[in-house]
Structure 1
Amino acid sequence: MPLRYTLVFLLAIVLGQISDYTDKLFFKVNDEDFEHVSGVLRKEDYTFVSQIISGIYVFQKRGLTGKLSEEDLQLIKSYDDKIQTVEQVRRWHIQPTSDGLTGQNLGVHDSRYGMGIGDAWNFSMTGENVTLGVLDVGVDITHPYLLDNIAQQLSWNYDSNTSDVSPGYQRSYGEFLQLQDHGTNVCGLLSANSNESAPCAKGVAFKSKLAIIKVAHLDVKVGILADDDNIAGGLAHRTDTISVYVNAFTYRNTFRNLNFATEVVLEQGTRIGRQGKGSMFVFPSAKIGGGLENKIHTIVVSGVNPNGSVPASVASNAAVLTSALAYSFSLMSAGMSTTAGIYSDRKCTDKFGGTSASTAFLSGILALVLQANPGLSWRDVMHIIVQSSEHESLKSESSNFTPNAAGKYFHAMFGFGLINAEKAVSLARTWTPVGNMFAVTGTHLSQRSCRPLVDYVTSHPCWLLKYIVTNQLVRYNTSEQHSNDTFRRVSSKICNDMSCSFGFEIKCAHYCSCASTVEQVQVSITCHTSNPKTTSVYITSPSGTKSILVQEGQISTKDIVTDVLMRSVNFWGENATGLWIINISITDGTIFNANVSSIIISGTNAIASGDMPCEELHKSMTASPPGQATVSEDLMDSNAKTPKPREKSALEATIAVLFLVCILIGSIIFFYLNADHAPVIP
């Protein structure tokens, strides 16, 4: 995004010309209660706008301006006891992730494709019978190289609630034309079917169909704007038919959790999309802490320079699964060409690049993979991506890849490497399904400021007892697979004036429902400090692998980091059981407040062959329709009951001993503080 657009946008906010908040609200209401709630809201000057998915509705409030407070939202919720949740719809300045570098390569196309795309074409993989949904600012659907592959009956404009998905080019504002052409540029890399004499290259999946989903519009004062309800609606659009949702844009905001509507849409899409196999949602690596990339249901892709180096616009991001080329068709070429709708004399451009291009490349490759094996689940596809990503070919950066304990090499910016389409297609053709997802989670109730440990102990003599008593054993149910493992928060928190370490130990109480092999790890962090730019956050697995969630410099003074969900895929394939450590540190020693309120580990369950109880339970789980597996009521009830008497008595005995220890420590400190001491010389 050119700097001038960003400056204009910030100036508009200062002058009050636009607001981050709209006059619309999300309401969570049971479908059978909709008519009743709608009547209640009409009396309060609310107008029904749309239904996102079952149970989530959007209403518009007449005369509403600015941000509603928490008290306002609670008041709205109190209108009727059938209103479960209310959240204001936000308006975002979205940033197409293209830099527009000139490649000087028009007229040379198919042979330039790297990333194994040409080899995948040799398997007769073209993306045929696969539909890609392109969420953007609109597309020139009359473009001669796109026309044959546009699925007009599947396209929709959520911004205006019409079937018109054109960009609506504002030719009087030439500085914005490149932004308005973004969707058309992306579609060319996906599915252009140009002939051999055309200056545009063929799309990666040149026989796939494109459903155009317009979710944003150009405001000539500030740039491209999109409302949360339009994005949520777009991501929920025709999940029965669309296989991959291509989202080549990011939010400019950092450390923002998603609204509840979009969260539910992503979860439901992976659960029931593609007739129960799960849709795929591809996003580019974005601002650190962005909500879209930190959900387990999204696939995050980063960009690679032609020579394999890190582009200047790419930052460290542990949520990145893989990478694709950002400014070229191969590691050896200097540029790329794609379709354009803004020129009167030509239909192609070489002024396109960035992680928008990377997002298009990966999405096109996924179309080839799904053509090779339409029965793959969304998690099968993620496993295939991990296994078909390469680091050896990135010569200038290959030494910066680190092996995790499962032998998979990962990079702070590139994930597991550069995607290889031929490898992905080959794996897909003979793939064995990975089965259901399991997850374990843990939470705690306390939050503490990080100070020198000796200060904390002297000011809270019974801090250890208090810490253990306020922590609980909890149960977590994932949307795809109910998991009833307990996850104990252990007393290994170590605070000093530089850092805080939070320890979580996983012990699989019920092996049959345990996420024993890691795929993804999520933690919810809070960090408030007087010098956020020197703050870093990282996770260490039980096997010793270190994954950086936040590097120094990625948190700015304006960021508010309060219970923000962060995600890492770097531990893919490792053993989940054991002690996990999350470290939050600041290099200048400034006192700060830090907390990790929860950790969730999602992954597969390695059921031992011959272990009959596990096998029978696994069969009962996987007998349900895909994405609707459940745990039997007997198992769920047994896990929800109070601990057995002998377990309870052991806990009581531990507490009793700790209580005596605290009394002893307190007494020693009391007598020490009241005794005469020689002065301490620093």
Structure 2
Amino acid sequence: MEKLILLVSEYSYLHQLEFPDYHNIVMKIMLCETFISRWACHITLAIFHIKATKIGDLKDYYHFFHSRTIKRSTLFSRGTHSFISMEPKVEWVQQQVVKRRTKRDYKPSYPGPVQSSMAQSNSIYFNDAKWSSMWYIHCNDNIHNCQSDMNIVGAWKRGYTGKDVVVTILDDGIERNHPDLIQNYDNEASYDVNGNDMDPMPRYDASNENKHGTRCAGEVAASANNSHCTVGIAYNAKIGGVRMLDGDVTDMVEAKSLSLHPQHIDIYSASWGPDDDGKTVDGPASLARQAFENGIRQGRKGRGSIFVWASGNGGRSRDHCSCDGYTNSIYTISISSTAESGRKPWYLEECASTLTTTYSSGENYDRKIITTDLRQRCTDSHTGTSASAPMAAGIIALALEANPFLTWRDVQHIIVKTSRAGHLSAPDWKTNAAGYNVSHLYGFGLMDAEAMVKEAERWKQVPPQHICVENADKQIRTIRPEHVVRSVYKATGCTDNANHHVIYLEHVVVRITITHPRRGDLSINLTSPSGTKSQLLANRLFDHSMEGFKNWEFMTTHCWGEKAAGDWILEIYDSPSQLRSQKLKEWSLVLYGTSVHPYSFRSDKPRSLAETQPDDEYSEEYVGSCHPECGENGCEGPGPQQCITCLHYFLKFKNNTRMCVPECPTGFFWDDKKRCKKCSPLCESCMGSRSDQCSACRPGLYLVEGGNNCVISCPGGFYLDLDSTMCRKCRENCKKCTSANICTECQTGLSLQGNKCQLNCEPGTYYNGHRRACEKCHSTCATCAGTGMEACNECAVGYYFEEWRCVSSCSVGYYLAEQTTDNGDVQKCDPTCYVCAGPGERNCSTCVSGYNLENGVCVVSTICKDGEYLSKPDQCEPCSSTCSKSTGPESKDFISCASTRLFDNGQCVISCDPGKYKWERRCHLCHHTCLECTDEGPDKCTRCSKGKFGVERYLFEGECRETCPEGYSHSSKGTCDPCPPNCTVCTSTGHCLHCTPSYFPKDGMCAKLECGLGEAADSDHEDCVTCEEGCQQCLTGQYIIIWMDVCTTSIAHKEMKCIMFSANLSNFDTQMSRASKLSK
């Protein structure tokens, strides 16, 4: 057998050879990347000798280092070692790049107040010092208005403490000899990837920087009743740690960590990720992706490793966790945070990939998480989503003890079924078509440990996962500022391929390619065929990248349990900060789910004794055949109303009986317990019981596009589409229309020309919507969309486009790419060129500082130290005492300032002017709505400015708005003041106009609406109305059927009646008609 030898330190036999693809690779390398002297390679047919180290548990993947290359470089190494890729058995070679990875705790600007301890639990007591203060485990505290907890004690009472489950913390190491960890420490679940040894002990320093992993470990598996400090959620689980964040984090480091002993470790917990700075788009590279996939396919003896991930702390930077490829993966369980009060923490990121939530810190006055700390101490100040992820890992460990045979998908299904909204406060809670409550803040809600172990005890594995990759939509669409691009894709769920057919959804992935000059201006929504809308991306204030998205995968869990087939609607909105049109080039759907109902062969929850116990006269056991709709637990008779459990769905009647059915009848929807529930009377079919959750309307009514409500006639701005019996939106400029392309009346300021609404402005002018007049474009524009040189659509004669402006000549660093009779196209020079004559690195005329010109190419020359500039070739001279980096002696040449000064528009200043804020030693403009702002960010206003046309703005939670949100009024001080309690609309803090449901305005406040027997509160009219179902009970053998108003009373108090109901569904419409007549 031929041997392939990878020499770690010598490559003498490779001299004089070159890697043929090297130039193409180098052109793609970003200058800001840091390359190190380590390589990863994929080698097949591995029955030969290799002097290199295997990467984790990845088969045929190895790593090696080259001692003769620079340890850290901004340039890709072009050494002769690159020729190793030419070896026939080497599939792939990659030099490793350092990745920025951030721990997801936060450092408050000042310490919060010390919190008083909560009362001890009456049912369980431990002698650990901090036990009485662990509010998130045992909730019994009147002082802090303690809310419902995660039922961890309930899981303990059932005997589950995490025994025989192994959890490892991927972080900066764990203090294995900590008194609270040493008893449960697992050496086989630990490794030091940074130091390449078996000991994961953290590196100690004066600031205790590497405390993060130890804190996370204590949350999971701190020993109980050892009189030391704290109690872990799975206090009998085995705990390990991987030290991998305290050094250069590369793709190879991540892969080794994620693939450590996958047959021994059950759960990997990670509380880190790419920078939460609101501008980074990053995820696992090829090796880490391979580690995830191998773990899912092969880990835990084929049941799949469990990867738990913190969703991110970028809330203050307006970050969005859909730009984090780790939390956005179907293989990870993305964990969000909530404060003790159930309110949104300030650091929280909102996205559709979040699966569930646990407790963590909130404001500075909120209590935080108690856990182990460095130097064998304790802390009561663990924070951020860093604290939430290990808490979730501990709860999952309890479920795995209850049922060790759960697969990775079983765990996610159980989380979805048992998480609950509870007291979590979010403006976007919605019920999807499968009956699950879901939110972009909290996923499916707060985890419930007791419910999870109960579900795990009786769980049967879900059917195999099917993956349906729908054909890509490659129609290029222009994205215009302040407009919505809407693309509809009719998915089949791969019905033509049984191995890929998806009917019931789990995860949905959208792959998108978009070009855009400022990525942060984009927001993206996806609406499922059932009408559930997922926000895949929100605007990101700090994301100025011109890279757009290239095959980036956005993932949503919000369609879990819904049907896959039907119209999927992708909507992309471009905010107006740059008035340039861009392109949606391609998008496609990847649907993950099952071809049969995931719970169709599982028993329903046991019914109550009153429901299941037969009468004495029927106590003899039934031995005949059951109805086809009965589940596996059998039946008490031959009919569908005599099943003990149902195979598909069931209808429940008011006499506490039920009937199994194959599908819910018209006018019903099914919830997560498989019960058919009644739609609103206006709906023919629906996703929930409210009037704005219709998916089809009753005859004579029309569904409003985008609203899911049914109306008798279409409202303004909509037209009636008789083919689809829908009210569809008119074009944006139309006030009234008769079809999508025919306007009959225009919005103010527009005129009807033919059947379209168009502006009347002459060339060289634009329409100003505020002044309702045509105004001149900037002198550099031939045509424009607004004021200023950056709003040009076309340039005037003698001007050229440069970075979305029209200029008379190229700026420094740009060149004229093509010349027409009137206009040209200005492109940016290569980054190494100061002035250039054309594209690429070989057309430089002069070079930037630090480079010399050689035959049109700029090569690195002398590099000056901080406080110096390059005055002559190979000669550095000091710049001003206030400057750090400069290209010359003048203040206008400054690039950065000394540590005592701030850089402000080419100047080094002591402090920032009003209207600016300090960030990373630079002065930045506050948001345009702010008169002043804090150093926390441009959108953290302290005073508001008026709009361009004198429109008042009001301060609300650091944001300046033209209108205050619901529940607030405009004050004369320019702030949004809260309305009285239970008030939604008010004119001041003491004068309410409209109250929340079950309250009504009284003396400026909101009073409780008390309704009598047979009445219900009408939220629309703030009054008590008679219940639709007037009957309280019927005679034996007669039923009040929940989908009919069989027993009603009118204003004239006509007689109410009960009728017999036949179990034959084919007679459904006849009986509905009969019931309707009886009620009139």
Which runs of 5 or more residues in structure 2 are unaligned?
Answer: 1-29, 118-128, 138-148, 313-320, 602-627, 629-757, 762-1080
Q: Which residue of 2 aligns with 1:671?
A: none
Is residue 2:384 matched to residue 1:354? Answer: yes
Q: Which residue of 2 aligns with 1:535?
A: 522
**Aligned match for 2:285, one of 259, 268, 281:** 259
* CA offsets 1:400-425 (integer angstroms, 9 cap, x no match): 31111111111112111111111111
Moved more, 183-192 or 346-355: 346-355
Aligned equivalents of 1:548 and 1:565: distance in 2?
A: 13
How many angstroms does 1:598 deviate by? 3.0
Aligned equivalents of 2:84 and 2:506: distance in 1?
A: 37
Asked whether the 8 Å contact 1:105–1:334 carries over to 2, the reply is no
Aligned equivalents of 1:310 and 1:98: distance in 2?
A: 16
Asked whether the 8 Å contact 2:421–2:446 carries over to 1, the reply is yes
Residue type at the aligned position of 2:404:
P
How many angstroms does 1:261 deviate by? 1.1
Residue type at the aligned position of 1:138:
G
Asked whether the 8 Å contact 1:322–1:414 carries over to 2, the reply is yes
Is residue 2:556 matched to residue 1:568? Answer: yes
Secondary structure of 2:105's match? coil
| Structure number with higher relative contact order (C-alpha < 8 Å, ≥ 6 residues apart) | 1
Secondary structure of 2:467's match? strand
Is residue 2:640 matched to residue 1:606? Answer: no
How many angstroms does 1:18 deviate by? 9.2
Q: Which residue of 1 aligns with 2:131?
A: 109
Q: Which residue of 2 aligns with 1:56?
A: 61
How many angstroms does 1:29 deviate by? 2.5
Secondary structure of 1:217's match? coil
Asked whether the 8 Å contact 2:518–2:546 carries over to 1, the reply is no
* CA offsets 1:316-346 (integer angstroms, 9 cap, x no match): 1111100110128xxx98233111114xxx7
* CA offsets 1:7-45 (integer angstroms, 9 cap, x no match): xxxxxxxxx99954333233222242765xx6xxxxxxx
Is residue 2:439 matched to residue 1:411? Answer: yes
How many angstroms does 1:276 deviate by? 1.2
Residue type at the aligned position of 1:306:
E
Aligned equivalents of 1:680 and 1:234: distance in 2?
A: 60
Where does 1:99-498 land on structure 2 (aligned, <5 Å)?
A: 99=106, 102=112, 104=115, 107-109=129-131, 112=135, 113=137, 114-171=149-206, 174=207, 177=208, 179-195=209-225, 197-198=227-228, 200-217=229-246, 225-252=248-275, 254-286=280-312, 287-327=321-361, 334-342=367-375, 347-394=377-424, 396-397=425-426, 400-444=428-472, 446=474, 448=476, 450=478, 498=484
Aligned equivalents of 1:512 and 1:144: distance in 2?
A: 52
Residue type at the aligned position of 2:406:
L
Aligned equivalents of 1:339 and 1:235: distance in 2?
A: 24
How many angstroms does 1:105 deviate by? 5.2
Secondary structure of 1:245's match? strand
Where does 1:539-554 land on structure 2 (aligned, <5 Å)?
A: 539-553=526-540
Q: Give the TM-score, by structure 1 length.
A: 0.71
Residue type at the aligned position of 1:248:
S
Aligned equivalents of 2:332 and 2:48: distance in 1?
A: 30
* CA offsets 1:269-291 (integer angstroms, 9 cap, x no match): 11111111111001111344112
Pair 18,255 (structure 1): closer, same or farther in 2 beyond 3 Å: closer
Q: Which residue of 1 aligns with 2:104?
A: 97
Secondary structure of 2:530's match? coil
How many angstroms does 1:104 deviate by? 3.2
Q: Which residue of 2 aligns with 1:499?
A: 485
Aligned equivalents of 1:138 and 1:334: distance in 2?
A: 26
Secondary structure of 1:145's match? coil
Asked whether the 8 Å contact 1:288–1:554 carries over to 2, the reply is no
Q: Which residue of 2 aligns with 1:674?
A: none
Pair 413,554 (structure 1): closer, same or farther in 2 beyond 3 Å: farther
Greater share of residues in strand: 2
Asked whether the 8 Å contact 1:506–1:579 carries over to 2, the reply is no
Secondary structure of 2:174's match? coil
Secondary structure of 1:355's match? helix
* CA offsets 1:174-222 (integer angstroms, 9 cap, x no match): 2xx1x31111111111111142743x3200000000122111216xxxx
Asked whether the 8 Å contact 1:302–1:323 carries over to 2, the reply is yes
Residue type at the aligned position of 2:158:
F
Is residue 2:597 matched to residue 1:592? Answer: no
Asked whether the 8 Å contact 1:77–1:84 carries over to 2, the reply is no
The alignment's C-alpha RMSD in Å is 3.2
Pair 208,556 (structure 1): closer, same or farther in 2 beyond 3 Å: same
Secondary structure of 1:213's match? strand
Aligned equivalents of 1:502 and 1:84: distance in 2?
A: 40
How many angstroms does 1:84 deviate by? 2.6
Pair 193,407 (structure 1): closer, same or farther in 2 beyond 3 Å: same
Q: Which residue of 2 aligns with 1:83?
A: 90
Aligned equivalents of 1:538 and 1:451: distance in 2?
A: 14
* CA offsets 1:626-671 (integer angstroms, 9 cap, x no match): xxxxxxxxxxxxxxxxxxxxxxxxxxxxxxxxxxxxxxxxxxxxxx
Asked whether the 8 Å contact 1:450–1:496 carries over to 2, the reply is no
Asked whether the 8 Å contact 1:535–1:555 carries over to 2, the reply is no
Residue type at the aligned position of 1:521:
V
* CA offsets 1:151-188 (integer angstroms, 9 cap, x no match): 124321111111121112022xx2xx1x3111111111
Q: Which residue of 2 aligns with 1:484?
A: none
Asked whether the 8 Å contact 1:77–1:85 carries over to 2, the reply is no
How many angstroms does 1:58 deviate by? 2.1
Secondary structure of 1:414's match? coil
Q: Which residue of 1 aligns with 2:511?
A: 524
Asked whether the 8 Å contact 1:318–1:547 carries over to 2, the reply is yes
Residue type at the aligned position of 2:153:
G
Aligned equivalents of 1:405 and 1:590: distance in 2?
A: 38
Aligned equivalents of 1:34 and 1:515: distance in 2?
A: 43
How many angstroms does 1:505 deviate by? 2.0
Pair 306,297 (structure 1): closer, same or farther in 2 beyond 3 Å: same
Aligned equivalents of 1:542 and 1:436: distance in 2?
A: 23
Q: Which residue of 2 aligns with 1:27?
A: 41
Residue type at the aligned position of 2:567:
L
Which runs of 5 or more residues in structure 1 are unaligned?
Answer: 1-15, 39-46, 219-224, 453-494, 611-678
Asked whether the 8 Å contact 1:76–1:86 carries over to 2, the reply is no
How many angstroms does 1:563 deviate by? 1.8
Higher radius of gyration, 1 or 2 = 2
Residue type at the aligned position of 1:210:
I
How many angstroms does 1:75 deviate by? 7.0
Residue type at the aligned position of 1:505:
A
Greater share of residues in helix: 1
Q: Which residue of 2 aligns with 1:490?
A: none
Aligned equivalents of 1:257 and 1:151: distance in 2?
A: 29
Aligned equivalents of 1:500 and 1:76: distance in 2?
A: 48
Asked whether the 8 Å contact 1:303–1:414 carries over to 2, the reply is yes
Residue type at the aligned position of 1:233:
K
Aligned equivalents of 1:497 and 1:415: distance in 2?
A: 29
- Give the total of aligned pairs: 528
User: Percent identity between the aligned chains?
Assistant: 27
